[in-house]
């Protein structure tokens, strides 16, 4: 019985390895993006925080100023909010959609190397008016997760430069 279980584990491992599946590793940025400067009108948003963290994880060191940067990431739009999706018969919200929109471009040496890109992510969550505080925390967690996912998408695009 034990041999059969071991054989199944080995077989499953071989199948997974054979199909090309592998975990996505960290994003590595090119030398052009080694010391970026993030130019944003608001430096206290979830996206800004996640982007700077993601850039650091990808091997970049944030420049001390715009003049010392190898590239400038311009964050033109950093917007988040929610929309009501469904309403109950008592005229209370039942579902909300949380959205996060980011628009950015990249320039280096006074020349635009990545034109404006707009990314929007949304998530839907059910609302319960008997658990208002819990739902506020859930919305905040969703917003933070969207910002993290957007920062990852931006980093992947920056790695391709």
Largest CA distance in the chain: 68
**pLDDT tens, per residue, the chain with 161 residues:** 677 777 677 666 666 666 655 545 566 777 788 899 999 999 999 999 999 999 998 888 999 888 899 999 999 999 999 999 999 898 889 999 999 999 999 999 889 999 999 999 999 999 988 899 999 999 999 999 999 999 999 999 998 87
CA distances from 26 to 16, 29, 54, 127, 156 (A): 21, 10, 9, 35, 10
- pLDDT for position 26: 63
Phi-psi region of 110 (alpha: psi -120 to 50; beta: other; left: phi over 0): left
Name the helix (H) or strand (E) containing 131: none
Q: How far apart are CA 72 and CA 160, in angstroms?
A: 15
Contact (CB, 8 A) for 122 and 99? yes
Could you give all domains of the chain from N- to C-terminal order, each with its CATH number? 29-159 (3.30.160.150)
Token pair for residue 105?
């471009």
- pLDDT for position 11: 67
The contacts of residue 2 (CB under 8 Å, 6+ apart) are none
Return phi, psi of residue 18, to 5°: -75, -25
Per-residue 3-state assignment (H helix, E strand, C coil) for 12-37: HHHHHHHCCCCCCCCCCCCHHHCCEE
């Amino acid at each position: 019985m034990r041999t059969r279980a071991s054989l199944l584990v080995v077989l499953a491992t071989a199948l997974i390895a054979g199909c090309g599946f592998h975990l996505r590793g960290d994003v590595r940025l090119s030398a052009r993006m080694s010391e970026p400067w993030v130019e944003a009108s608001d430096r206290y948003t979830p996206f800004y925080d996640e982007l700077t963290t993601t850039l650091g994880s990808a091997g970049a060191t944030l420049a001390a100023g715009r003049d010392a940067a190898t590239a400038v990431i311009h964050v033109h739009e950093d917007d988040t909010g929610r929309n009501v999706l469904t309403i109950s018969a008592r005229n209370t919200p039942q579902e909300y959609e949380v959205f996060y929109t980011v628009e950015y471009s990249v320039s280096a040496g006074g020349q635009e190397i990545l034109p404006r890109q707009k990314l929007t992510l949304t998530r839907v969550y059910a609302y319960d008016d008997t658990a208002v505080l819990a739902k506020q925390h859930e919305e905040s967690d969703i917003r933070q997760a969207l910002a993290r996912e957007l920062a990852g998408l931006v980093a992947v695009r920056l790695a391709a430069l």
